[in-house]
């Protein structure tokens, strides 16, 4: 990444546009740099049974509003929280998020361009991070150093050094972190895990996913964003300087510098499920190949539209994640053992059978079966509950670290054309 101090000659001064706090004026000390946020006491504010949890939203796009905000709102009576602050580089996104706050809570939220100013609010107990993928790790580390409890979207990181720093900051702060790999909270997926633990599938050799679409998902986000409404430098977040373009801002998933494509996007969910179901933690090696083969058009997207990553795990099985965003046929998600097969292609209705298993007669599986769900709290509800109990949530920081390592291994292999190897003791990825 290039020097974050690089800016466009025509950019408005950041300080004039950053401070948009509603109603009560500017936040005291909001000119502080992010390093000054490190003074918060570890563990964040202690939340009593009757205390209202005060939440800030970092990133007010589709995920921030329609997943995070709407996802937690249905539990507002049960868990007693309020959203008091929102931040996003795009004015229209901030205003849309604030409109939800006004509708739900009868007052305006504090509005900010920069995450730094939101984290400087002492009254914020917890934050939900739904910023762009290239911003996740910085926002996670800063929130931990500010002593805020955190809900962080996946992929949790795209670079190994930044991942280690953020992870260590979270562990030092002792804040509650829920990673946004919410599929592991589905009762059906918990059922898959329990079934696997029973040994029903025998010795696993391969776990595979093909998640395909007719068109890359980033096209659906394209919007006619106007430069005057965006704090462009805040969005770039240290990435190589380039002029503002509405495609770059709204369709950032399609540009490699900002998302690295479907393995971090789709694959982080999948690899997290592999870890959750099997109990595996880190791959030992990975190879990854792909490219942009179908969608070469006027948008000049650079994220690969066809890509496949293959990991080998020390537990003795191979894991494959394949995405073809140029043809939607052939979707599958299966775990193959010598006594049976788990088909979790439909996350909400997984099944299992013994077809093709060489030791099927020795195993317990007969016929076609539906996985029995195991009751489990909603992923958002679980996080809110853990803010009061201090218990470990469904997807703790360790789970995020594990899926991030696998994703970074894959994309390092894709970038270098070489096999990658992970050293869990030194927390280093190298090419072989």
For residue range 111-159, list pLDDT tens digits in order: 999 999 999 999 999 999 999 999 999 999 999 999 999 999 999 999 9
Question: Which strands form 420-423's sheet, in the order they lie side by side?
Answer: 369-370, 351-353, 341-343, 332-337, 204-210, 317-324, 306-313, 285-291, 420-423, 428-431
CA distance 187 to 154: 20
State whether 155 and 28 are in the same domain. Answer: yes
Instruction: Give, for 82, the enclosing helix (H) or strand (E).
Output: strand 81-87
Residue 25, pLDDT above cutoff 70 = no
Instruction: Give the range among 30-44, 334-348, 410-424 with minimum mean pLDDT.
Output: 30-44
- Read off the CATH number of the domain in which 227 is found: 3.30.360.10
CA distance 156 to 88: 19
Q: What own/partner pairs with CB < 8 Å and gap ≥ 24 does 405-408 have? A: 405/160, 405/163, 405/282, 405/283, 405/429, 406/267, 406/271, 406/282, 406/283, 406/286, 406/311, 407/155, 407/157, 407/158, 407/263, 407/264, 407/267, 407/268, 407/271, 408/157, 408/158, 408/159, 408/160, 408/163
Question: What whole-number percentage of the chain has pLDDT above 90?
Answer: 88
Instruction: Give the separation between CA 304 and CA 324, rounded to whole angstroms.
Output: 9
Do both 49 and 168 map to the same domain?
yes
Instruction: Pick 188 or 46 by higher pLDDT.
Output: 188
pLDDT in tens, 194-214: 999 999 999 999 999 999 999
Residues 142 and 221 in one domain: no
68 plus 117 within the same structural domain? yes
Confidence of residue 165 (pLDDT cuts 50, 70, 90): very high
Q: What is the DSSP string of 144-194?
A: HHTT-EEEEPSS--SSHHHHHHHHHHHHHHT--EEES-GGGGSHHHHHHHH
- Whether 151 and 295 map to the same domain: the answer is no
* Average predicted confidence (pLDDT) for the chain: 91
- The single residue listed with the structure tokens 């996802």 is 71
Domain for residue 261, yes or no? yes
Answer yes or no: is 162 within a domain.
yes
Give the burial class of 261: count Cβ atoms within 10 A of its Cβ; 0-12 exposed, 13-18 middle, 19 or more buried.
buried
Per-residue pLDDT band at 1 (split at 50, 70, 90): very low
Residues 119 and 223 in one domain: no
Same domain, 117 and 256: no
Is 392 within the bounds of a domain? Answer: no
Helices 160-173 + 397-416 axis angle, to 10: 170
The full DSSP string for 335-398 is: EEESS-EEE-SSTTS-EEE-TT-TTTTTSS--S-EEPPP-----HHHHHHHHHHH----SS-HH
Query: Is 2's pLDDT higher than 90?
Result: no
Look at residue 363 and tell me if it is in a domain.
yes
On the question of pLDDT at 11 being above 60, the answer is no
Nearest to 350 by CA among 331, 367, 373: 373
Are residue 103 and residue 130 in the same domain, yes or no? yes
Same domain, 80 and 221: no
Per the structure, the complete domain to which residue 231 belongs is given by 184-375+397-431
pLDDT for res 44: 64
Domain boundary among 159, 182, 205: 182
CATH number at residue 75: 3.40.50.720
**Structure confidence at residue 51 (pLDDT):** 86
205 vs 26 pLDDT, higher one: 205
pLDDT score of 255 more than 60? yes
Q: What is the pLDDT of residues 290-309, one digit of tens each?
A: 999 999 999 999 999 999 99
pLDDT tens profile 47-87 = 766 789 999 999 999 999 999 999 999 999 999 999 999 99
- Asked if residue 8 has pLDDT above 50, the reply is no
Check whether residue 313 and residue 418 sit in a common domain: yes
Domain boundary among 167, 182, 197: 182
Residue finishing a domain among 150, 167, 182: 182
Give the position of tokens 């099944």. 351
Let me know if residue 273 belongs to a domain: yes
pLDDT tens sequence across 358-389: 999 999 999 999 999 999 999 999 999 999 99
**Peptide linkage before 2 cis (omega within 30 of 0):** no
Q: Is residue 210 one of the residues assigned to a domain?
A: yes
pTM score: 0.89
Instruction: Classify residue 8: in a domain, yes or no.
Output: no
Number of domains into which the chain is organized: 2
Whether residues 121 and 228 share a domain: the answer is: no
Determine phi and psi for 400, rounding to 5 degrees: -65, -40
Going 401 to 403 to 409 to 411, the CA torsion angle's sign is negative
Report the greatest alpha carbon distance in the chain: 72
The average pLDDT across 260-289 equals: 98
156 located within any domain: yes
User: Do 210 and 71 fall within a single domain?
Assistant: no
């Amino acid at each position: 990444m290039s020097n974050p101090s690089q800016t466009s000659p025509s950019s408005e001064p950041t300080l004039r546009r950053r401070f948009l706090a509603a109603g009560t004026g500017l936040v005291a000390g909001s000119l502080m740099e992010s390093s000054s946020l490190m003074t918060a006491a570890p563990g964040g504010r202690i939340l009593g049974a009757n205390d209202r949890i005060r939440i800030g939203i970092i990133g007010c796009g589709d995920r921030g509003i329609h997943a995070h905000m709407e996802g937690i709102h249905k539990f507002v009576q049960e868990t007693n929280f309020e959203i008091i602050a929102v931040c996003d580089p795009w004015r229209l996104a901030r205003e849309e998020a604030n409109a939800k706050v006004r509708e739900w809570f009868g007052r305006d939220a504090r509005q900010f361009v920069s995450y730094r100013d939101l984290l400087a609010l002492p009254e914020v107990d917890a934050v939900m991070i739904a910023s762009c993928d290239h911003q996740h790790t910085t926002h996670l580390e800063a929130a931990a150093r500010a002593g805020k409890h955190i809900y962080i979207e996946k992929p949790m990181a795209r670079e190994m050094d930044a991942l280690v720093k953020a992870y260590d900051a979270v562990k030092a702060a002792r804040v509650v972190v829920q990673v946004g790999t919410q599929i592991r909270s589905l009762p059906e997926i918990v059922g898959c895990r329990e079934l696997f633990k029973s040994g029903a599938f025998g010795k696993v050799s391969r776990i595979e996913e093909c998640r395909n679409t007719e068109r890359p998902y980033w096209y659906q986000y394209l919007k006619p964003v106007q430069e005057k409404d965006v704090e462009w430098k805040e969005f770039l977040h240290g990435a190589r300087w380039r002029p503002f373009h509405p495609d770059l801002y709204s369709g950032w998933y399609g540009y490699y510098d900002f998302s690295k494509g479907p393995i971090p996007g789709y694959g982080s969910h999948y690899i997290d499920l592999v870890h959750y179901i099997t109990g595996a933690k880190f791959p030992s090696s990975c190879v990854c190949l792909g490219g942009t083969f179908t969608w070469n058009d006027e948008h000049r997207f650079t994220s690969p539209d066809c890509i496949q990553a293959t990991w080998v795990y020390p537990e003795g099985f191979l894991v494959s994640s394949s995405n073809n965003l140029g043809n939607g046929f052939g979707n599958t998600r299966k775990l193959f053992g010598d006594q049976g097969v788990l088909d979790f292609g439909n996350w909400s209705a997984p099944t299992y059978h013994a077809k093709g298993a060489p030791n099927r007669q020795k195993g317990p599986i007969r016929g076609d079966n539906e996985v029995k769900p195991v009751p489990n709290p909603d992923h958002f509800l679980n996080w809110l509950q853990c803010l009061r109990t201090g218990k470990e949530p469904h997807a703790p920081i360790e789970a995020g670290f594990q899926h991030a390592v696998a994703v970074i291994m894959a994309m390092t292999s894709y970038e270098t054309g070489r096999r990658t190897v992970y050293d869990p003791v030194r927390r280093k990825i190298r090419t072989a």
